[in-house]
Structure 1
Amino acid sequence: MPRHRHEVTVDSLAAQPPKHGQTKGEHILEALQATAQATPAGSLLPSERALADHFRVSRMTVRGAVDELASKGFATRVPGRGTFVKHPQLTHSETFRSFSDDMRLRGLEPGSLGYRSSTRGATQAIATALGVEPGSEILHIERVRTADGEPMALERTNVSLDRFPGLRAQMSADESLYGLIQRLYGIRLESARQRVSISRLSARDATKLAVAEGDPAFLVERTALDNMGRVVEFGRSLYRGDRYAIEMHVGAASSLTVS
C-alpha cells in the first residue's frame, strides 16, 4: 500500500524514556503530542496496532492516549482512514492586544514572514478610516504573522505618517507595531472597532499562509484607537479559519419599561 504523503512513522516519534512516576499512557500521550506539535496538520499518525507494538503496550492503553490527544485538540479520528494531526484552534476574543502580546500570553513565540512596507497616498476609504485627508502619506505594512514559526494570519495595515513621522525607518519584520508606537511616540493603544466576516483565500494569500487555495479565513477589519479615542491604525487582516475561532460575549437585551 502506498504511504500517505504526510505519514508519521513510529520511528519518528519522540524517543524520550518515561519520566519518574509517569504511566505508560502518559508517556505515549507526551510522545504523540510532541510529534503532533512538530508535524503539519493533516499528517497521518501511526495506527493503534503500530503504536502498541512500538511502545510494547496493549492497544487499550494506546487508544486511551490517542483519545486524550484528540480531546486536547491535537488529533482527529476519521473512521476507515485513521487518526490525523490537528492543531488546536486559538480563540480570537474581544480582549484588545497586539498579535505579539497575544501569542506570548499563549506560550507561543510570535514572528513574521514576508515583511513589506511602503509609503503611499491615502485612498478616500483609508483616509476616512484614519481621519486624515485623502492623499495624505501613510505607511502600509504587509506581513505574515507566525506563532512558533507557523503562519497564522496575513496582516495588512495602514498608519498615518503625518502623525507618526519616521515610523517606517524604525519598523521591522518582527516588531510589534503597537509596542513601537508607544515606545517612540508615547501613545498607548487602548481599544479597537472590529468587523469580522468570512472569506475564501485567493491562491496568492493561501500560499503565504501555507494552506490550500479556497480555504476559509476570518477577514478582520480593525480600527485601533489610542487612550484618547483617536484612530491610530486601520487594516484588514486574514486569520486562518482552521486555526482560529471567534469568541463573543452576548447578553440578553435590557427589558423596556412602559409607563
Structure 2
Amino acid sequence: MTDPYVVLSVTWTGTAGTQTTGDIYRSAVSAAGPWTFLQTVPLLGQRAVFYDTGAPIGTPVWYRAIGHPGTGQELFAGPAQLPQEGAVWVKDPLRPWADRAFDFCSGGIEGHSDTCSTPTPKRVWVGFGDRDRDEDAGLFPVTGSETPAVVWSRRKSHGGTISFMTRTLDAKDEVYDLFTAGGPLMLQLPPSYGQPDVYIQPGRLRESYLYADQRRPHRMWTVPYTVVDAPVGPKQGSACANWCAVEEVFPTFADLAAAGGTYQDLAAGTLVCGTSTDGYGDGLYGDGIYGG
C-alpha cells in the first residue's frame, strides 16, 4: 500500500532570481482559505518541492505558496484529494519514510488466525482502548467554608491506548523504525471511526507474544498515548526522497550521474522511484495532477 501524500512542485517565474524561499499553506475548506501554514522551503532555481505527508485522506485540499523575498508572488493550486483505501496510517511527521499502514483481516477474522487475509496483512490494526479527557482544574480549601475555591480552564484532549498486531518478523522491525525516534506520531483513520486526523505522543511500547511457542512471529503491541500538537522541524525525506534510498538505487556517485536527471528530480523522488502514471504526480504537484 502506497503512503498517501501530496507532492507540491512550485516554480516562481514572475521575477527571475529574486525568490529564495517559499511559504507553503494548506486549506481543507476552500480555495479561499482559511489557510494553515505548513512550512518554509528553500528554493533552487526558484523551484520548490514540498511533500505534504500530513494531508487529510479522502478530503479535498487546496494549496497556497508565497515566494520570498521580492514581490511575494502568490501561487494557488487544488483541489487535490488522496484516496481513502480503508487502512489506518501511523505516521512520523518528521520521518515520512517510516510511515506504516495497518490493515484489517477480511470477513471479521481475527489477526492471529492463519486464515487472516486481505491478502495476508503484515500489520493488523486492533483499535483504541478507553479514552480519558483530563480536567484542568485546581481545588483550594477556604478557611471557614464547606466548599473549596476552584480554578479551572479548558478540558484537555483525550488520551488512552492503541493496539495493533504484527504477523511477521519484518513487520516487527518496521514497528521499531516507526517508534524509535520517540517523538509525536500522526494517526489517520477511516471515516467510520469518527476520529479526525490527530497527533499523539506515544508512551511505553509494550510487545507481547501471542503464542506459547515464541518462534511464531506474531506480536501484539499496546501503546499509551496523549494527544499533542503537531511537531515542528524539518522532514527527513519520503520513501522516494531520502539518502538511504538514493544509496540503495545508486551505490556510487558515478551511478547517480549516469542516470541523468536533476537535483529537482532527486528532491521530487522521481530519480529513485521513477515517474508515476496514476495521476498523482508531474504538472503542478509532481507527475500527474496532484503528486504522491
Q: Higher relative contact order at CA 8 Å, sep ≥6: structure 1 or structure 2?
A: 2
Which structure shows the bigger proportion of residues in helix conformation? 1
TM-score interval for Structure 1 and Structure 2 normalised by the shorter chain: under 0.3
TM-score (norm 1): 0.21
